[in-house]
Amino acid sequence: MSDPIRPAPIITEDNEEFWSAAADGILVAQRCGSCGNLRHPPRPMCPLCHSIEHDTVELSGNGIVYSYSILHYPQFPMFNYPIVAVLVDLDEGVRLLSELNDVNHDDVRIGLPVKVRFEDTCDGMEVPVFVRRGGS
Amino acid sequence: MTRPLLAGATSIVGIGQTEFSKEAGRSETQLASEAIVSALADAGIPTGEVDGLVSYTIDPVEETELVRSIGTDRIRFSSRVPYGGGGSQGVLLHAAAAVASGVADVVVAYRAVKARSGQRFGRAAMGGRATSSHSGSTAMQWCAPYGVMTPASWISLNATRYMHVYGVTSEDFGRAVVQLRSYAATNPNAHFFGRPITLNDHQESRWIAEPAIRLFDCCQETDGAVAVVVTRKDRAQDSRQPVTIEAAAGAAIFEEEIASNHYRPELAVMEGSVALASLLFEGFGVSRGDIDVAMIYDAFTPILLMQLEGLGFCGPGEAKGFVADGNLGPGGSLPTNTNGGLIGEGYIHGLNLTTEAVRQLRGTSVNQIDGASTVLVSASRTGVILRQS
């Protein structure tokens, strides 16, 4: 039996830049072309200045665990359980929902330093996940 | 704040429901029809006088098919409320606003669901859709690749943060569940009728999302329907047991999602409830001390405690003590979810909390609280305050 493989992300007109970069192993966030506000999740207009101009900037991939949850049930066939779901506050100031891998469950805690890694999905995409950083 | 025009202007004159079960064995349209006809009979209002229908964006019953079954002549107002369960009391706001403004005279709010025998609520559909169905699918694009696809998993991320910030434990949640199951045990309509639990039972139930949510912290996946009839307060005097909609409000906060909230700076505080409380209490001039009974949306135990704090019944981090001191019980300062809540009775989107509030004001609850004359129903971001007429 092959290992479960996670579903590919759902691509929309407004999130395509994020997932395309991820497929190339790059973590990005949108940056407003007018006021420079960094934002995630992506959106078509800056909520601060209403500019529709934006670019994307590569993030360091370093952050800390803002919150977590170890998911036991229900179990879907494309994942390994339990899943350590995390909200990561990245150094640049945006928050990402993801998962924490290669970690002993007793070591999972709020404030844990983590860094990004990319994992394969169905249909040849990649998505950012996180692992412990440094000697944490 | 200027007191809203709909303050005390409308009444709930009828409530109706089907049985709550795990397999209704009939369509949602039939369930809704049965609940509505029952509610209209309770109100003493002929079906032909219904001119407004309100439900939820995720309700599967088409208004047109419903009209074919219940036989209304002409609908003048219809709307649907988004925000999943958090929007569950929004139907009362829509109904009251439509009636108070004169757009409609008799509005029926309804919810029909087969959350167990149909598409199970606890098992979100795989993949999701890129376009919104107003049921959280837009937020799913960030969750699906990581298996974060159930309401429990979404809420648990907030709940873990809450536990961390305020030193709350699973046992603290368990004490609330013991009280809810105690109420459910004496409610023949409840899934857990006759089945109270101990704190130890709660602690031995398996993890769903660790460290926040065990099996017994989860609401029921339920089949059934509930309907509520709203009309003008002056007209309500013709009905047998009207209750007044003193206040109705809803608040949607920047960056919150339909059924999740992961991007606000501080997730240990339920900011939607803080905003709702301001609208209901300050906006309508009602004191928290006036609330005799509370019905609080308890899809999962953590959000019950977080709402007690957000609504201002206790300070930040104090809900665990408030619960442990027995305040949610029949002799407490704020008897809460006297039908057993969504955890003990069943989950009809939270509209079954509204019907229990009406029963408390009528004096007909199976767990009647003496002197209940003002009841709050909170679904965290939408809510109503009901009063005896």
Structure tokens at B368: 């009647």
Give the model's confidence band at B124: pLDDT under 50 very low, under 70 low, under 90 confident, else very high: low
pLDDT digits (tens, 9 = 90+) for A59-100: 999 999 999 999 999 999 999 999 999 999 999 999 999 999
pLDDT digits (tens, 9 = 90+) for A1-24: 457 789 999 899 999 999 999 999
Domains in chain A, number: 1
Closest approach of chain B CAs to the CA of A6, in angstroms?
6
Alpha carbon distance B206, B220 (integer Å) = 15
Counting beta carbons within 10 angstroms of the beta carbon of residue A62, is it exposed (0 to 12), middle (13 to 18) or buried (19 or more)? middle
Report the predicted TM-score, pTM, of the whole model to 2 decimal places.
0.96
Ordered DSSP codes for B230-279: EEEHHHHTTSSS-EEEEEEEE---TT--SS----SS-TTS-HHHHHHHII
CB atoms B147 and A99 under 8 Å: yes
> If interface means Cβ-Cβ distance under 8 Å, which residues of chain A face chain B?
6-12, 15, 40-41, 47, 66-74, 76, 78-79, 82-83, 85, 87, 95, 97-99, 105, 110, 121, 127, 129
Give the model's confidence band at B126: pLDDT under 50 very low, under 70 low, under 90 confident, else very high: very low
pLDDT (0 to 100) of residue B118: 84
CB atoms B146 and A97 under 8 Å: yes
- Asked whether the beta carbons of B226 and B105 are under 8 A apart, the reply is no
CB atoms B209 and A72 under 8 Å: yes
In this structure, of A19-33, B121-135, B249-263, B333-347, the range with the lowest mean pLDDT score is B121-135
pLDDT digits (tens, 9 = 90+) for B262-299: 999 999 999 999 999 999 999 999 999 999 999 999 99
Inside any domain, residue A9: no
Which of B132, B146, B261 is the mutation pick for testing A, counting most A CBs within 10 A?
A: B146
Structure tokens at B191: 């899934």
* pLDDT at B170 > cutoff 60: yes
Counting beta carbons within 10 angstroms of the beta carbon of residue B35, is it exposed (0 to 12), middle (13 to 18) or buried (19 or more)? buried
Percent of chain B with pLDDT over 90: 87
Task: Give the nearest chain B residue to A8 (CA atoms).
Answer: B145
Reported residue count of chain A is 136
Ordered DSSP codes for B112-141: EEETTTSS-TTSPPSS--SS--SSSHHHHH
CB atoms B210 and A127 under 8 Å: no
Inside any domain, residue A51: yes
* pLDDT at A132 > cutoff 80: yes
Inside any domain, residue A4: no
pLDDT (0 to 100) of residue A3: 73
Mean pLDDT of B28-42: 97
> If interface means Cβ-Cβ distance under 8 Å, which residues of chain B face chain A?
122-123, 126-131, 140-150, 153, 156-161, 164, 206-212, 215, 254, 262-263, 267
- The helices-and-strands tally (H runs, E runs) of chain A is 1, 8
Task: Give the nearest chain A residue to B164 (CA atoms).
Answer: A110
Residue B286 makes CB contacts below 8 A (sequence gap 6+) with B246, B247, B280, B374, B385
pLDDT digits (tens, 9 = 90+) for B65-87: 999 999 999 999 999 998 888 99
Least Cα distance to A95 among B260, B208, B309 occurs for B260
Inside any domain, residue B166: no
Inside any domain, residue A2: no
Alpha carbon distance B72, B64 (integer Å) = 10
> Which residues form the domain of B249?
10-119+218-388
Which residue of B128, B149, B153 is in closest CB contact with A69? B153
> Which residues form the domain of A41?
16-132
pLDDT (0 to 100) of residue B116: 87
pLDDT (0 to 100) of residue B132: 47
Inside any domain, residue B65: yes
Inside any domain, residue B235: yes
Using a CB-CB cut-off of 8 Å, the residues of chain B touching A74 are 122-123, 150
Inside any domain, residue A5: no
Inside any domain, residue B142: no
Alpha carbon distance B173, B301 (integer Å) = 6
Give the model's confidence band at B2: pLDDT under 50 very low, under 70 low, under 90 confident, else very high: confident
Structure tokens at B96: 């009251």
With helix as H, strand as E and coil as C, how does B172-237 read?
HHHHHHHHHHHHHHCCCCCCCCCCCCCHHHHHHCCEEEECCEEHHHECCCCEEEEEEEEEEHHHHC
Domains in chain B, number: 1
pLDDT (0 to 100) of residue B131: 45
Q: Which amino acid, one-letter code, is at B121?
A: F
Least Cα distance to B111 among B216, B190, B222 occurs for B222
Closest approach of chain A CAs to the CA of B208, in angstroms?
5
Percent of chain B with pLDDT over 70: 96
pLDDT (0 to 100) of residue B3: 85
Inside any domain, residue B93: yes
Inside any domain, residue A55: yes
pLDDT (0 to 100) of residue B1: 61
Inside any domain, residue A40: yes
Which residues of B are identified as catalytic?
Answer: 297, 347
Alpha carbon distance B18, B13 (integer Å) = 18
Inside any domain, residue B146: no
Counting beta carbons within 10 angstroms of the beta carbon of residue A51, is it exposed (0 to 12), middle (13 to 18) or buried (19 or more)? middle
Alpha carbon distance B273, B276 (integer Å) = 5
Which residue of A41, A99, A110 is in closest CB contact with B164? A110
Inside any domain, residue A100: yes
Inside any domain, residue B44: yes
CATH of residue B243: 3.40.47.10
pLDDT (0 to 100) of residue B133: 54
Least Cα distance to B35 among B225, B231, B189 occurs for B225
CB atoms A87 and B126 under 8 Å: no
Inside any domain, residue B209: no
Alpha carbon distance A82, B343 (integer Å) = 24
Which residue of A8, A79, A85 is in closest CB contact with B157? A85
Closest approach of chain A CAs to the CA of B197, in angstroms?
22
